Structure 1
Amino acid sequence: MTKYPLKIISDPPPMVSFKKVRKTYGSLVVLDDLDLDIAAGEMVSIIGPSGSGKTTVLRMLMTLEQINDGVIYIDGKPLTHMPKNGKLVPANQRHLRERRADIGMCFQHFNLFPHMTALENCMEGPVQVLGIPKAEARDRSEELLELVGMIAKKDQHPSRLSGGQQQRVAIARALAMRPKVLLFDEVTSALDPEVIGEVTNVIRKLVSEHNLTMLMVTHQMGFARDISDRVCFFYGGKIEEQGHPAELFGNPQKERTQKFLSAVKEAI
């Protein structure tokens, strides 16, 4: 991987910044020199056909996959790289662990610990990873369960909760780590239609009341249109088109965007 000169980022920096990020699997190019900046407090949704690189963006941010080229920054500091002798070199595991603490993720299938209650699920990360005293972690977790409307279920195990309830606990658990950036990977796609509203209302509340930077991959066009500050349409590992939801959904400029949105409307 290329060594990069140390980059001085202007103040204030984007909260998330992809600089010429490339990801390949053999001859398959998944992300093609991606440039993407997300401002602090901005809510950005990523849409696009399967295989366009949407989820790979989240996996790169979670350091679940190693990039092949480029650099990813979080809050002006390199995530995928670290300084060494005046250069940026690929990050070691210690650097990745430290920087990853700024990022939270809510997965499609919840991934709650089945042997723990809702409250214990939220407390586990702050206690074990952040070293926060149990009493403080309990107070923080109860506050967040109240925020997502799950305080009455705090002593229930995941098996006793509905899909929508489990996803709301998963959001509280991610928030308990006090991330600067919160990622959502198709958080409503595993839910029954009647409970999708539970989760979308929580995310709307986070957007309106909390200055979180959020990045969401979704196939729900209406949700992306209603909740986002900006929507990015991915195609072939690149941002084919991006803009304010009203503009992108109401008057898409690129032919590929038009075809995709037309196909989505027909499917609905």
Structure 2
Amino acid sequence: MSLCCEQRWKNLTEELTAKMWGIFDETGIFVVLCRHGFVLLMADMVQSGELAKYPLAIVNALLDTFGVDLGIGYDIGCGHSTTIQHSPLGPKAAWLNLKMLVGTFHGHAHNRKCQLDYLATYILGLRLEDIEGAEWQFFRLNGLEAIWIYFAHLDTFEAYANLSMFLVNNYKQAIEILDTEESLKYAMEQAGVTEDMLKSRIQEEKAYLNTLLKELQEETDQMEYYQLLVNLADQKEKFDEAFGESSTVNGNTRRHAHENYNKVVKAVQATECCLSIEV
């Protein structure tokens, strides 16, 4: 069976995350923002990397503050969900119905089974939220030293000022989506698709992935064929450059371009025969 994200992602290993430059007492900050962009909590990461103790402390504080039915986005939310379950915080998180999530940017690097459980796209109630606000803030922090002062300024002079525009833009986007509701319902009716069917499909896909021991050979072959086509286009471009009328490359470069192009052509042809592809 394919490994879960927490088993195969290297940035979830304590040994790796703890390796930082020893000359600094403080190596960074762990920050959490609300969906409107306000900074809720910050923690110094002192002489360590992004260890589990920081998000655990943050989650505990958020649960104490907001209580039941809290959703928290984290780029490794899948793995941290397991960490929470096996920590002293587990019973409290379960009782308050905490849901760890993965943002729509980071989530597409996770495997499909993980996406169905944690990706914001598939979680009912999140609607337009992408849970990637922290990434935008850290992008703006590049090269900035006075981080605490910056965040205080951000909350006072930018987050409040931009909140109205944020709500208006979200409202407009929601209205645009709702305007397509009737046409969507009509298309679903014509196709014989119901809302219950859409919900059950996700559960069916989860069940299928749980029983999948390895990638289907057919899908693997198709992906390899696609990659060969990409390589063919690349080698064809190099071949044309080497043998073009205005080319100034030497004889060895031409020979290599010719050999590489022919090699990829043969590989494509062999794969097409195996897959019974007629061009």
TM range (shorter): under 0.3
Greater percentage in helix: 2
Per residue, is there more strand in 1 or in 2?
Answer: 1
> Could you say which structure has the greater relative contact order, defined with CA pairs below 8 angstroms and 6 or more residues apart?
1
TM-score, with structure 2 as normaliser: 0.25
* TM-score in terms of structure 1 length: 0.26
